[in-house]
Amino acid sequence: MTNVEYLNKGLDQLNVADNSLAPARKNAITSFSKMGIPGAKHEEWRYTRIGNLFNKDYQFPAKKEGFSKTDLDGIRLPGHEEANELVFVNGIYASEFSVIRSKELVVQSLEEAAGNENKEIVALHFGHSSSLLKDGINALNTAFVHGGIFLNIKKGTVLSQPVYIYTITDARRESVLSQPRSLIYIGENAQAELVETYVTIGKADSFTNQVMEVAIEKDAKVGYYKIQNDRQQANLVSTTHFRQLGKSYLHTVTISLNGGIVRNNLNVVLEADHCEAHLYGLYFMGGDSHIDNHTIVDNVMPNCFSNELYKGVMTGKAAGVFNGKIFVRKDAQKTNAYQSNKNILLSADASVNTKPQLEIFADDVKCSHGCTVGQLDEDALFYLQSRGVPAPIAQSLLVRAFATDILEHITPKAIHDYVEQLISLKLEYDLP
Amino acid sequence: MLKIQNLKASVEGKAILKGIDLEIKAGEVHAIMGPNGSGKSTLASVLAGRKEYEVTEGSVEYLGKDLLELAPEERAGEGLFLAFQYPVEIPGLTTTNFIKTAVNEIRKYRGEAPLDAVAFLKMMKEKMAMMNIGQSLLSRPLNEGFSGGEKKRNEVFQMAMLQPKMAILDETDSGLDIDAIRIVANGVNKLRNKDNAVLVVTHYQRLLDYIVPDFVHVLYNGRIVKSGTKELALELEEKGYDFIKNEVNVGEGV
Amino acid sequence: MKTDIASIEKESPKNEQSAIEDVVLNEYKYGFVTDIESDSAPKGLNEDIVRFISSKKNEPEWMLEWRLKAYRHWLKMEEPKWANISYPPIDYQDVIYYSAPKQKITPGSLDEIDPELRKTFEKLGISLDEQKRLTGVAVDAVIDSVSIGTSFKTQLAELGIIFCSMSEAIQEHPELVRKHLSSVVPITDNYFSALNAAVFSDGSFCYIPKGVRCPMELSTYFRINAENTGQFERTLIVAEEGSYVSYLEGCTAPMRDENQLHAAVVELIAMDNAEIKYSTVQNWYPGDKEGRGGIYNFVTKRGICKGDNSKISWTQVETGSSITWKYPSVILKGDNSVGEFYSVAVTNNHQQADTGTKMQHLGKNTKSRIVSKGISAGVSNNSYRGLVHVGKNAANARNFSQCDSLLLGDKCGAHTFPYIEVKNNTAIVEHEATTSKIGEDQIFYCNQRGIDTETAVALIVNGFAKEVMNQLPMEFAVEAQKLLAISLEGSVG
């Protein structure tokens, strides 16, 4: 546990407004004072050290001023012409840059929603991620929550246009510690596709501690895609917490291609019978990147199905961490939960730590996990070479093949093609 | 030997058997035929004592005892044998060890001393020769990785080892080619004698070419709607089950 | 024909059925107390107790210093809290750290052993005489931390093999003990190993000289007898270049309402081309159905494949203890060395087990294999915790792990916590885990063949655990199969 003076000072000066965010914030303030920044002794942070990231001269709380529309145009994702675009700059929602194309989509500031007709929803779901993430870093975001949004995709709404969420860090003038926050409510029978991306501009240090909480109601269908291809100085802890409150369908794909220290917490809580969740991930990192994918699938109710497949390719001096936890609670009989993690090490200095875990308290279940760490198939490499394909190309063909069964789960075509293109570039420049 | 009266049974509240009457005497072979979903396998399972099936009415008398009062293993002890349609796999438990346990448990039930290894082995060799089954199959874990034919042969081999008085063959021919059916049927025929009885449950007539029944009953919609001799099976083969369905429906005025 | 009979005999011991009957009648059948006078230290722990133990054992100065160092370090340590187990705080001042059966002289042969003790062994089902005559297993027996007698010593000595109690080794072979003791598990390693170093009262020592293949299984039986006694034994096995040894240990304890602490340390050292096979059948008293009493089994076991082409294999069948905290590990230092871990852990009623292994790959072309089978019943919790670490220089390291859990009943828990750390890009590591329950269709199939449910469960569980059971020496396998059946009595149906 690391104690950070400017955070403690900030905590003392906090004025918690009396709205439906307050109970969670008060808890978070207590938790953070008690737990601080997690250190290596914290089991969930054993392989990912973030203490040092706080010893920087950050602008905190961060401000969004200085960022322009021209800056945004340089970083918009393909397909944006037909998407809703929500923009966070240094952790603060910037309505001036955001574009809402679907008229059914309701976007409000979290503070506003915590006081209006949505306050009940906010009270129910805001801060729920802390029930699974018992560390100071999650509490830190909740305690200081500021500039966040509430997104309401109401009952029966089928969004025909995806929602792109940009988390932008502007570190051109000074070092930035930012904490974006959002709460998304997806009503009964609603459907939505969410795409998140992270971009840092400027050369100063940055650390982003993001939390997104998503509540999914009965018969809703959600696709969620997280694309990370930031700079090597950009450090990120990104938490996405899903609650499936009724029989619903969730599909997530997490792609990490570049960054500094990147930690993704992905939680899925299956709180109703017959929920279905699919979790896919690809991390292909080089340089000095550190990628940590921490997932929790929490089966609370019976008859749910979950399938998880994460694949990693490590090159350069990159370090990969996978930590997948499956809980099957006492009442979650007839759970089917599968998890698989496959890793390839391409260079002598790359490393992987993986920790798949099963915690099972019900007996009538089918659960399995598997993980592997190895290399590209020597026989396949030789086969390609013997057909005249030079070794480097053979290698990149095989890495691409390895990644395919993750990429094919990215449904929005523009995003799928974009990720493929990023991977091609990476294969060209990053392979040893 | 076996007397079934007005037997009704249901699964999860759904009535499957709607009043079965059937009597089987020592030395007889009966066949129960019927279309899919008619309740054939349910009847076999109820007789063996599967607890998912709830008997709601009727009685089954077996060798003078109330069969329905007995636990599954007691029914086995009394000489009732069910050859499963889908024999289960038990990883790590060799077939030999399994059969040896079964043989001695049944002997224990009957108050007989367990067979020692030598006597057991002698008996096993004898039945292996009779059933034309190899040692390698018996050294493998029970049914694990067995082909469909191997599983069914293993069922009949167990029947030979346990020497039942009343054997029920539940769709023993399903999924087998004609050569495999012949092997299995030969096995069953070798075990027939005047003191035991066989109930063959099957969808197709072809098994009955090899295990020739004394009586054939047609089960439809939870009831025996027609009984006859082996010719009935041939008639069914020729005309299909629709003719039965029509007859029944007409009879019931539907 | 002959081989057939043998194979049937091996799988299905003649008295298997009667063993299951015994189960119905007996609960913990090893829970008798032997009426032997014992010589104990007062309760509690301080430097004087450490000195008392050392002087009782007539130890040289360096051993006392070593113990005191460990004790002083232990004072500064905290009890580990990370395992998936819970128990009320242990009062370390409420434990008797030394209890020896009163024996005037070390017996020169088994015939000189106290007849009461001999009876104890017979009740345990291990008549020393019989073992000696029939199986050719050399036995060392440790009761309440003190070694009672080692059989076959003369025969072994002819080959240059030393197999004796640890106290005797300290007297007779101080140079060997001093060289190897705590070289694998340093006294500062962990809380319980430090405590062990401070107060251990005996254990077994085994030394296999260069090129010798030990012709018989070496075996130790541990038993806690006295009340309020902790057992802290220490075992050290050294296999010199090109040697081989297979070692077995068995453990039992009487039924008592309070919990008793067992904190043992085992160290194995395998030099070039040497092989050590270490098998354990752990059946300490597990506590009663309500979770009262039972042994806290907090054990540190570690081996080092120090030489090239060496091999260490751990096999364990863990059915006893109210709490098990144990991770038999292998440090694969020599090139081409091999580490194995085969485990069956059964928990029933209120038992808790957090057990697994660590495979530390340091040398080149090192291989490890982990097969863990956990069976949970009652309201117990059973966790597998394992680490596979491939160091930077461990080129071509290979590991395969299989961890399966079987659940009997809906109030128990099965947990899997594997840690896989790979720092070399030529390594291949594979881990698989499954969790399932005994199928009702499997039980029904057995019932239909005349096998009752209790027996069916025993057959299915033994099948599930077979890959591990096959690793045990035959006479142990039979015992272990019975234990599995006994441990799960009444858990289904």
Structure confidence by residue, pLDDT tens digits, B106-128 = 999 999 999 998 999 999 999 99
**Chain C residues within an 8 Å CB radius of A350:** 425
To the nearest whole angstrom, how far is the Cα of A212 from the nearest Cα of chain C?
28
Q: How much is the average pLDDT of C387-411? A: 93
The minimum CA-CA distance between B90 and chain C, rounded to whole Å, is: 6
pLDDT of residue C14: 34
In chain B, residues with a C-beta closer than 8 Å to the C-beta of C460 are 90, 93
Q: Work out whether strand A84-89 and strand A149-153 pair parallel, antiparallel, or are unpaired.
A: unpaired
CB-CB under 8 Å, C434 with A367: yes
Question: Looking at the complex, does the CB of residue A358 fall below 8 Å from at least one CB of chain C?
Answer: yes
Q: Provide the chain C residues 365-404 that lie in CB contact (below 8 A) with chain A.
A: 390
Q: Give the range of the structural domain holding residue B161, as residue numbers without chain letter.
A: 2-251
Encoded tokens for C410: 């809906």
- B76 to chain C: closest CA residue: C450
- Tokens matching residue C420: 């896989």
Residues in chain B whose Cβ is within 8 Å of chain C: 48-51, 71-73, 75-77, 81-82, 84, 87-94, 96-102, 104-106, 108-109, 114, 116-118, 120-121, 135, 139, 141-142, 158, 162
Query: Given the structure tokens 């609650």, which residue do they identify?
Result: A243
Of C11, C441, C452, the CB nearest to B73: C452
The three-state secondary structure class of C458 is helix
Q: Is B24 within 8 Å of B31 (Cβ atoms)?
A: no
Identify the pLDDT of residue C131.
41
In chain C, residues with a C-beta closer than 8 Å to the C-beta of B117 are 5, 8-9, 14
Could you give the 3-state DSSP secondary structure of residue A383? helix
Per-residue pLDDT at A206: 93
pLDDT at C118 over 70: no
Question: Looking at per-residue confidence, does A230 or A364 come out higher?
Answer: A230
pLDDT tens digits, C197-214: 999 988 889 999 999 999
Alpha carbon distance C24, A95 (integer Å): 73
Q: Which two tokens stand for residue C479?
A: 């015992």
Are the beta carbons of C361 and C427 closer than 8 angstroms? yes
**Is C416 in Cβ contact with A358 (below 8 Å)?**
yes
pLDDT band at residue A121 using 50, 70 and 90 as cut-offs:
very high
Q: What is the CATH number of the domain that holds B245?
A: 3.40.50.300
Measure CB to CB from residue C435 to each of A330, A352, A365 and give the nearest one: A365
Q: What is the pLDDT of residue C132?
A: 43
pLDDT for C41 beyond 90:
no
Give Cα A7 to chain centroid, integer Å.
24
Amino acid code (one letter) for C412: C
B touches which chains (3+ CB pairs under 8 A)? C
Reported as a single tens digit per residue, the pLDDT across A369-385 is 999 999 998 888 888 88
Q: What is the pLDDT of residue C114?
A: 52
For A290-328, write each residue's pLDDT tens digit.
Answer: 999 999 999 999 999 999 999 999 999 999 999 999 999
CA distance C342 to A76: 55
Contact C462/B93, CB-based, under 8 Å? Answer: yes
Q: How many domains does chain B have?
A: 1
Cβ contacts of B102 on chain C, cutoff 8 Å: 446, 449-451
User: Residue B88: which of C445, C459, C462 has the nearest Cβ?
Assistant: C445
In a domain, C493, yes or no: no
A and B touching (3 or more beta-carbon pairs closer than 8 Å): no
- Among all residues of chain C, which has the CA nearest to that of A370? C432
Dihedral of the CA atoms C252, C254, C255, C257 (nearest 10)? Answer: -110
Mean pLDDT of A205-222: 96
Q: Is the pLDDT of residue C102 over 60?
A: no
C290 in reach of chain B (CB within 8 A): no
The answer as to whether C492 is a domain residue is no
Asked if C433 contacts C416 with a C-beta cutoff of 8 angstroms, the reply is yes
The minimal CB distance from C425 to the residues A346, A362, A363 is found for: A346
pLDDT band at C57 (very low <50, low <70, confident <90, very high): confident
pLDDT of the residue at C99 = 74
Question: What's residue C225's pLDDT?
Answer: 58
Helices (H) and strands (E) in chain A, counts: 9, 21
Contact check, Cβ <8 Å, C429/A348 = no
Residue of C493, C367, C371, C373 lying closest to C429 (CA atoms): C367
Q: What local confidence, expressed as pLDDT, does residue A93 receive? A: 96
Say if residue A285's pLDDT is above 50: yes
> CA geometry: angle at A263 spanning A234 and C420, to 5°?
130
**Optimal mutation site among B78, B88, B146, interface C, most CBs of chain C within 10 A:** B88
C447 CA: distance to closest CA in chain B (Å): 4
**Model confidence over A52-69: pLDDT tens digits?**
888 888 888 888 889 999
pLDDT for C23 = 34
Complete DSSP assignment for chain B: -EEEEEEEEEETTEEEEEEEEEEE-TT-EEEEE--TTSSHHHHHHHHHT-TTEEEEEEEEEETTEEGGGS-HHHHHHTTEEEE-SSPPPEEEEEHHHHHHHHHHHHHHHTTPPPPPHHHHHHHHHHHHHHHT--HHHHHSEETTT--HHHHHHHHHHHHHHH--SEEEEESTTTT--HHHHHHHHHHHHHH--TT-EEEEEESSSGGGGTS--SEEEEEETTEEEEEE-HHHHHHHHHH-THHHHHHHHHHTT-
> Residue C180 sits in which domain range?
2-487
Q: Of C412, C425, C433, which is closest to A358 when you measure between CB atoms?
A: C433
Residue C437: its chain A contacts at CB < 8 A? 363-365
Residue of C nearest to A355 (CA): C419
Mean pLDDT of chain C: 81
- Encode pLDDT of C236-253 as tens digits: 999 999 999 999 887 665
- Calculate the CA A91 to chain-centre distance: 15
Contact A362 C428 (CB under 8 A): no
Measure CB to CB from residue B90 to each of C14, C17, C460 and give the nearest one.
C460
Domain tally for chain C? 1
Nearest CA in chain C to B73: C450
Do residues C84 and C412 make contact, with C-beta atoms less than 8 angstroms apart? no
- pLDDT by residue for chain B (254 residues), tens digit each? 999 999 999 998 899 999 999 999 999 999 999 888 889 999 999 999 988 899 999 999 999 999 999 999 999 999 999 999 989 888 888 899 899 989 999 999 999 999 998 999 999 999 998 888 888 889 898 988 888 888 998 999 999 999 999 999 999 888 788 888 888 898 899 889 999 999 999 988 889 999 999 999 999 999 999 999 988 888 888 888 887 777 776 655 43
Portion of chain C with pLDDT greater than 90, in percent: 45
Q: Where are the domains of chain A?
A: 3-377
pLDDT of residue C471: 87
Give B114's contacts in chain C (Cβ within 8 Å). Answer: 14, 17
Phi and psi at residue A63, to the nearest 5°? -120, 155
Chain A residues close to C409, C-beta within 8 Å: 363
C chain contacts of residue B118, beta-carbon cutoff 8 Å: 5
Whether C14 and chain B come into contact, CB under 8 Å, resolves to yes
pLDDT tens digits, one per residue of A71-97: 999 999 999 999 999 999 999 999 999
Q: In which band, very low, low, confident or very high, does the pLDDT at C232 lie, cut at 50, 70 and 90? A: confident
Residue with more model confidence, A105 or C7: A105
For C429, the closest chain A residue by CA position comes to: A373
| Three-class DSSP category at A371 | strand
pLDDT of A9-49, one tens digit each? 888 888 888 889 999 999 999 999 899 899 888 989 999 99
The pLDDT tens digits of the residues spanning C314-331 come to 999 998 888 999 999 999
Task: Report the residue of chain A nearest C407, measured CA to CA.
Answer: A363
Residue C230 has pLDDT above 90, yes or no: no
Query: Is the CB of C460 less than 8 angstroms away from the CB of B73?
Result: no
Mean pLDDT of chain A: 93
Q: What's residue C134's pLDDT? A: 34
DSSP string for A170-214? E-SSSEEEE--EEEEEE-TT-EEEEEEEEEEESSS-EEEEEEEEE
Tokens linked to A299: 């089966």
Question: How many Cβ atoms from other residues are within 10 Å of residue C409's Cβ?
Answer: 17
Orientation angle between helical segments C191-199 and C47-56, nearest 10 degrees:
50
SS3 per residue for A60-84? CCCCCCCCCHHHHHCCCCCCHHHCE
Q: Do B97 and C8 touch (CB under 8 A)?
A: yes
Cα C161 versus chain centre, distance? 22
Sequence length of chain A is: 432
ipTM > 0.90, yes or no: no
Tell whether the model's pLDDT for residue C101 goes beyond 80.
Answer: no
Partners of C1 on chain B (C-beta within 8 Å) are 121
Higher pLDDT: C47 or A13? It is: C47
